[in-house]
């Protein structure tokens, strides 16, 4: 069976016999060369080189007899060079080749990308030899729909995340290497196609976002109606928003020692502490709080200080940009699963896999020049 008659799922994680005829030069340094007539291979996806067959051993097809595997030489066959070659799927014991197959796990990606490989509705849009690369039509008012190749990077409930593999011919305000969100829609012929809506959202001012009300309303709307448009609206608002972060104030040893002495001095008369101003002589570290749900950790932020409720009474409140909150979440030692916005009222979770999608979004803030 030729690859043109197969699907990439017939190759990935499967053992395939490849005839040596026509490809002898690739195998001449492997044990059994000269007697073998086929190669036993294992299929996997190399995102940069395409569908690949890793040679496990040479052998004889009729007897399913295989020679010793080489521990020093790695031979890789790219599927695009075997497009017209007859391939023969077989079931054989993989025990002798476990180490070689284990080494291929470095090519495996996050679970979200692996999940998209199961989506057969994406198959018409996939590249023949690079299954994670799909043709996406960029759409924006005033421009012609333009097909661009996009490499899948992540998966959300409402969209697929990918990075542009080529520079668009038209000015969509997105460029090679940048991440975009795309969705599946029916094309003019009724068949599903991948589409990314590149229309800029309405322009905002910093005043529009100041009290967090707009962000809170957008999250509530998305939780009620989980459409692609509502999802992107939340992401765009987050990109430009200022949020409140609950933090523990950590003082230096010097300051703690000084204040400890003051407490000892007035410990028998707490009333004397009223109205007493204590100033830190060293820098105060603000350490963000982390929420835990089961085995998962989340970095909490809030659209306003009031949204923290009683929970916020136990913390210092740091007002900061959401983009900087992403940096703090990434650098947190707990390895958070994501950022949770308004955890105790109308929650929204931005998972770590799409932090950079928000970071690379275009700002919707229109700043006016000061007189």
**H or E, element range at 330:** helix 322-330
The whole-angstrom separation of Cα 121 and Cα 123 is 6
- Per the CB < 8 A criterion, the answer to whether 3 and 87 are in contact is yes
Joined tokens for residue 343: 């955890």
pLDDT at residue 73, as a whole number: 87
pLDDT tens-digit profile of 175-206?
999 889 899 988 777 788 999 988 877 778 88
pLDDT at residue 284, as a whole number: 56
pLDDT at residue 370, as a whole number: 44
pLDDT tens-digit profile of 328-346?
999 988 889 999 999 999 9
- Per the CB < 8 A criterion, the answer to whether 350 and 339 are in contact is yes
Joined tokens for residue 166: 């080529």
Q: Which residues contact 242 (CB under 8 A, 6 or more apart)?
A: 209, 210, 212, 319, 320, 321, 322
pLDDT at residue 274, as a whole number: 56
Neighbours of 149 (CB within 10 A): 16
For the chain, the structural domain boundaries read 3-107, 111-197, 207-359
Burial of 261 (0-12, 13-18, 19+ CB in 10 A): exposed
The whole-angstrom separation of Cα 218 and Cα 349 is 13
pLDDT at residue 344, as a whole number: 94
Looking at the DSSP assignment, which residues form a beta bridge with residue 320?
Answer: 243
From first to last of its 371 residues, what are the pLDDT tens digits of the chain? 899 889 999 999 999 999 998 888 889 889 999 899 999 999 999 999 999 999 999 999 998 999 998 878 889 999 999 988 999 999 999 999 999 999 998 888 888 899 999 999 999 999 999 999 999 999 999 999 999 999 999 887 778 999 999 999 999 988 999 889 899 988 777 788 999 988 877 778 888 888 999 999 999 999 999 887 888 899 999 999 999 999 987 755 665 666 566 666 666 665 655 555 555 555 556 789 999 999 999 999 999 999 999 999 989 899 999 999 999 999 988 889 999 999 999 999 999 988 988 998 888 886 554 43
pLDDT tens-digit profile of 228-268?
788 889 999 999 999 999 998 775 566 566 656 666 666 66
pLDDT at residue 170, as a whole number: 96
In order, the DSSP letters of 196-207 are EE-PPPPPB-HH
pLDDT at residue 277, as a whole number: 56
Burial of 147 (0-12, 13-18, 19+ CB in 10 A): middle
């Amino acid at each position: 069976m030729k690859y043109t008659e197969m699907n990439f799922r017939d190759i990935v994680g499967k053992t395939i016999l490849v005839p040596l005829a026509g490809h002898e030069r690739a195998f001449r340094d492997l044990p059994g060369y000269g007697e073998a007539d086929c190669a036993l291979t294992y299929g996997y996806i190399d995102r940069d080189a395409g569908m690949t067959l890793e040679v496990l051993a040479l052998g004889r097809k009729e007897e399913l007899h295989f020679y010793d595997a080489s521990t020093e030489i790695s031979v890789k066959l790219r599927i695009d060079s075997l497009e017209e070659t007859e391939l023969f799927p077989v079931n054989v014991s993989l025990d002798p080749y476990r180490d070689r197959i284990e080494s291929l796990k470095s090519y495996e990606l996050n679970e979200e990308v692996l999940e998209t490989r199961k989506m057969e509705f994406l198959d018409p849009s996939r590249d023949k030899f690079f299954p994670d690369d799909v043709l996406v039509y960029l759409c924006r008012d005033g421009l012609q729909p333009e097909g661009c190749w996009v490499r899948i990077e992540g998966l959300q409930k409402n969209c697929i995340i990918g990075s542009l593999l080529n520079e668009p011919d038209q000015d969509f305000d997105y460029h090679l290497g940048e991440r975009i969100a795309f969705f599946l829609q029916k094309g003019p012929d009724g068949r599903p196609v991948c589409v990314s809506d590149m229309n800029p959202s309405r322009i905002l001012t910093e005043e529009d976002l100041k009290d967090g009300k707009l962000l809170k309303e957008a999250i509530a709307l998305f939780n009620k109606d989980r459409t692609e448009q509502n999802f992107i609206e939340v992401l765009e608002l987050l990109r430009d928003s200022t949020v409140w972060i609950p933090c523990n104030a950590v003082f230096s040893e010097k300051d703690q020692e000084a204040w400890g002495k003051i407490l000892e001095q007035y410990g028998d008369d707490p009333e004397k502490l009223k109205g007493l101003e204590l100033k830190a002589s060293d820098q105060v570290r603000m350490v963000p709080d982390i929420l835990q749900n089961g085995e998962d950790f989340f970095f909490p932020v809030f659209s306003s200080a009031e949204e923290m409720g009683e929970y916020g009474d136990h913390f210092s409140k740091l007002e900061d940009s959401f983009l900087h909150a992403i940096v703090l979440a990434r650098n947190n030692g707990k390895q958070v699963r994501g950022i949770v916005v308004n955890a105790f009222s109308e929650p929204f979770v931005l998972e770590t896999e799409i932090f950079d999608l928000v970071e690379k979004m275009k700002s919707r803030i229109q700043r006016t020049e000061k007189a």
